[in-house]
Amino acid sequence: VQLQASGGGLVQPGGSLRLSCTASVRAYSTYVMGWFRQAPGKNREFVACLRWGGMRTQYADSVKGRFTISGDYAAATVYLQINDSNPEDTAVYYCAVGGTVTSESSSYRYWGQGTQVTVSS
Q: Residue 26, class by beta-carbon neighbours within 10 Å (0-12 exposed, 13-18 middle, 19+ buried)?
A: middle
**Are 34 and 51 in contact, with CB atoms under 8 Å apart?**
no
- What is the average pLDDT value for the chain, to the nearest integer? 94
Can you tell me the mean pLDDT for 59-82?
95
CA–CA gap between residue 26 and residue 7 (Å, rounded): 20
SS3 111: strand
C-alpha of 37 from chain center: 8
Higher pLDDT, 24 or 37: 37
Neighbours of 39 (CB within 10 A): 15
Indicate whether 116 pLDDT > 90. yes
Residue type, 16: S
Residue closest to 37 by CA, chosen among 67, 57, 15, 11: 67
**Are 3 and 63 in contact, with CB atoms under 8 Å apart?**
no
Identify the band that residue 29 occupies on the pLDDT scale cut at 50, 70 and 90.
low
